[in-house]
Structure formats: structure tokens, C-alpha cells
Amino acid sequence: MNKPAAIYARVSSDRQKENHTIASQTAALIEYAQTHEYSVPPEWVFQDEGYSGAILVRPGLEALRDLAAEGQIGAALVYSPDRLSRKYAYQVLLSEELSRCGVELIFLKAPAGATPEDQLLVQFQGMIAEYERAQIAERCRRGKKHMAQQGGVNVLSGAPFGYRYAKKSDTSAAFYEVVEAEAKAVRMVFEIYTQQRLSINAIARLLNERQIATRTGTGRWERSTVWGMLRNPAYRGTACYGKTEQRPRQRVTRPLRQRKALPSRDVGGHERPRAEWIEVPVPALVTDEMFALAQEQLEKNKRHSPRRTVESTLLQGMLVCEQCGYALYRASTHTSKQKLTYYRCLGSDGYRRLNGPVCTNRPIRQDYLDEFVWSEIIRLLEDPELIQTEIERRREAAQKADPLRKREDELRREQARVEKSSERLVTAYQEGLLTLPQLRQRMPPLQKQTQAVESELQSLKMAAVDEAKYLQLAESLAGFRSKLRLRAEVLDIAVRQQILRLLVKEVLIGTDTITLRHSIPIPQSGSSGSSGPSSGATQSRPSPGYLLRSGSDFATAE
């Protein structure tokens, strides 16, 4: 009677699938089973296609182990030890597990004996397989890194929304081709986010309402998709390789701590330092200025996001304690007549730390501080030369830097090269060196490259500095200041927050001083101080008309 057995085969890459190596493994194992009188039903031939030998969770291997545990097979036929696993420790684990179940593990390309010498040879084969896997992984990593440094897009994970990946051919390397319909949606997302200041959730809803198709055409727009689009540097013309890496998880959530459990996966993707990214040039869909504005807005949203705010305040997310560096939060107390709201430093709360508070800064009245800061902002905006000077400074800096000129020169050279290649192909066809089918095969990739270069050149033209826009902006600012002067006291909190956050980075609260760190340089006078070349600081002592703190030397104005 034939002995019941099961067959297991594995390949780990798509190239091995295309070469039918798993079929050759299975054929050799079936022939071995027939020769040695093993009975192998078709449903007991297990195959794992595209699974790494460094992991144990594989569908075919799981089914084989289940059969062995149920006692239905007497032998397991595998082509070689590295097909079972690339790690020697896993080979020993599976071998001992099958042995306990009474299953004989047979390798076609390994000794079948049970002598110490045979076992030693199998161990050496397992260690060599593990070494080969590490060697292959390291070669792939260094090869991809070198390709990225040479500017090849082959190493990128895939073309993002707005592009189509064009494979390399005999006449051209792989490149990203702009899909105009998708690129239009990308530009719209950046414009809405940077100019209209809509939230990411609102942009996702707007895309769904306008029925703008996603990449697949079947799904809907989600917040995470829009968020990833706004952060993707490929849209400004530099896709990046090596942005993330696998490292042990550093964050354990509160529910896991309460259950005293561990995360389901001990590793996760972590963003690497920006200096380690490798930039790969691709066609740009938005200007550098617009992309920088989007990144600045994303950073502001981290600080100023309302989250669980019940009632918004003017200085929400902008207050920093000058003594300890912690943020200030809003707290309230009740008197016999009214409810008073204060800004309180996190470092002054003793219950938050075992050793007590780390800061002695006292709470400060919210209503009076908001009014004081807002009046200071109105005073600065009434200066007609302040904003005009900043506009002129930025225009001159943009003209001197001109970061797009180098990229434009590269594109012009690439355009000339592609045009010359096309002319050579036409000349070769006219002279009879190429047939018409060969010409038709080689021309489309060159035409696609030409379209991609022209599309990026058009994007660079949109990014050029237009002096007429600056003059128009200066005229509109004069009208804005006059309107602001009239409506300053009736504007709601949301509008005041927008104006304040455009001009102020943060507000430092000291023991008896208030310092406003501005986003633009301001005229230095009196008690003002500078905090850097691109920002200014106004430091002042509140007037005696403000009761900023209880028990202070300043009394309220009657």
C-alpha cells in the first residue's frame, strides 16, 4: 500500500513565477513520489507563490502543518531545505514539529539519511541559504540606492496620482508621464488648501461631491489620501527614495497598556531624516512656492487644530511659557459674580509630575491678554510700509535665488536630446536603415518623453515671478488695511485667528513680559528685540490698565 504524502513548493519573486520554477519543483516532486510509491492526492500539492522564505505565515505551509497535526500524512516532500525556509532556525522548528507528528521530512536536494554527517550537511545547507538571503537583500538595497542616485524612477514604489509609469524600452529609460486629467485634480487640491484654507476633510468631501475619479475609478476620496498627496514631494518635481524604514514600534497605545498586551506587529514604518532621502527628478505638477505653502499650512494645522475645543480663543495653540517652554492651556474659575477664564502653564501643574511643578509662572487672564495682543496686531497693520517692505524683500529674494532656472536648463537639454533622437530615427528610415514597423515601435516612447518635458516646462512657467502680481497685491493691501481698521472690533474669532497666525509665530509669556515673535521683520525700536533674520519680536510690559494676573501689582482700570 502506498504511503500518504504531501508536496510543498515555494517561490518568492514574480520573476521565478514567470520562469515556472514552481512548476518544475512540483513536477520533480510528483515524479519522486511515483518512483518511491508515495500516494499524493492533487489537493495535497501545496504551493506558495510570491512568499518569502524568511517568514512562516504562508497559506500552503499552514495547510501542510495542519495535515501533519491531524495525522493524515506520513511524509512531506520538499525540493530543498531553502524552499521550506530561508532561516535555519525555522527549518529546525518545522522539522521537529513534523517529526513529533510522525511525518517524515524528505528533501530531493539533500541527504535522506539520519547519520550525524547527513544532519550536519543539512544544517550547513540551512545556514548557507540564510546567508544567501541576507546577501541578496543587501545587494538589492545597494542596487536600488545606486539607481536612485542616478535618477532612475525604477526604484520608486509606483507612480502617484497624477502620473503614469512608463516602462523602460530599448530607446529610453523609465519615466513618469503626466496624466493631465489627474494632474488638474492635484493642482486643484493644492490651490484649495493653500488659498481657500479648507480642511483636509472638507477637500475630500469636495472631491467626492464633484465626482472626481480616483486612480482606480471605483473608490472614494479619503482624508488620508488627500493628506498624503499634500505631503508628496513628487508633485514639486522631486520624488524621493528611502523616505521610510522598518524599525521597532515605539508607540504603545493606552488600550494596550491597560490590557498589558503587546502590539500585533513589533515593527512598523518610520520616516527617516530628510537629509537621508534621495531625490529623483520627475515632472512637477505644482510650483515650489505652492508646495512650500502647503507644508507650512500642514505644520500650522498640527499646532492650531481645534480637535476637542469646545470654544475657540484667539491665542489657541500659540502661547508658550518663556520660563519652562511648555504650552499654556485654558482653565476657568467662578467668583460670586462671574466666570473668569485664564491661560495656565502646563509646567505649573503639580499633579502632572511626581516631583511637583517645574514652573512658577502664574495664570494670566484670557480676555485681557486676547485684547492686548489683538490691539498690538492692529497697531502693526496700520503701518503702511510694513507689509510693502516684506513684499519687496520676498520679490528680491525670489529673483536672486531663482531655484527653477537650473531645472529649466536641464529640461531644455533633455528636450534637445529627444528631438535629435527623433530626427535620427526619421533620417535612418529615409535612408532605408529602419523599416516602417521598427520606426513605429521606437517613436511613441520618444513622443511620450517630449510630452512629459513640455508639461514640466509649462509648470515652471507658471512658477515664474510676475511683478504685476506684486503690484496688484500691494494695491489690494491698502484697501484691506482700511477695511480692517473699520471692522477690527466686530470680526469673529475665526477671522481674527487667520490674521494673527499670518503675522505671529508664537506668543511668549514671561513673569512680567509678553513677547510676540513675528513671522516678518518689524521695525526695531525701544524695547523690541530681534529673534532672527527672518522674524522679529515685540516685547512689552502690559499697561497698568490690565489685570493680567490675580494678586499682581497692576490694578484694573475703573
What does CATH list as the number for 163-249+268-304? Answer: 3.90.1750.20
pLDDT for the residue 146: 80
What is the phi/psi pair of residue 319, to 5°? Answer: -90, 130
pLDDT for the residue 557: 34
Which range, of 6-15, 37-46, 401-410, averages the lowest pLDDT? 401-410
> What is the rounded CA–CA span in Å between residue 175 and residue 332?
59
With bands split at pLDDT 50, 70 and 90, how would you rate the model's confidence at 402?
low
Q: Is the pTM of this model over 0.95?
A: no
Contact of 496 with 304, CB cutoff 8 Å: no
Which range, of 237-246, 311-320, 528-537, averages the lowest pLDDT? 528-537
Mean pLDDT over all residues of the chain?
77
User: Domain boundaries in the chain?
Assistant: 3-145, 163-249+268-304, 319-385+481-540, 392-469
In the numeric block, the cell 524528505 is attached to 106
Select from 13, 139, 132, 129 the least CA-distant residue to 82. Answer: 129
With bands split at pLDDT 50, 70 and 90, how would you rate the model's confidence at 280?
confident
> What is the rounded CA–CA span in Å between residue 132 and residue 127?
9
Per residue in 420-456, pLDDT (tens digit) is 888 888 888 888 888 888 888 888 888 878 877 787 7
Q: Judging by DSSP bridges, how do beta strands 175-178 and 267-271 pair with one another?
A: unpaired
Q: Each residue of 452-482: b (16+ CB within 10 Å) or e?
A: bbebbbebbeebeeeeeeeeeeeeebeeeee
pLDDT for the residue 263: 54
pLDDT for the residue 8: 92
Identical fold at 3-145 and 163-249+268-304? no
Select from 118, 119, 110 the least CA-distant residue to 76. Answer: 110
With bands split at pLDDT 50, 70 and 90, how would you rate the model's confidence at 249?
low
Superfamily the domain 3-145 falls into? Resolvase, N-terminal catalytic domain (3.40.50.1390)
Per residue in 350-390, pLDDT (tens digit) is 888 778 888 988 898 888 888 888 888 888 877 767 767 77
CB-based burial of residue 103 (10 Å sphere; 0-12 exposed, 13-18 middle, 19+ buried)?
A: buried
pLDDT for the residue 15: 53
Q: Is the pLDDT of residue 327 over 80?
A: yes
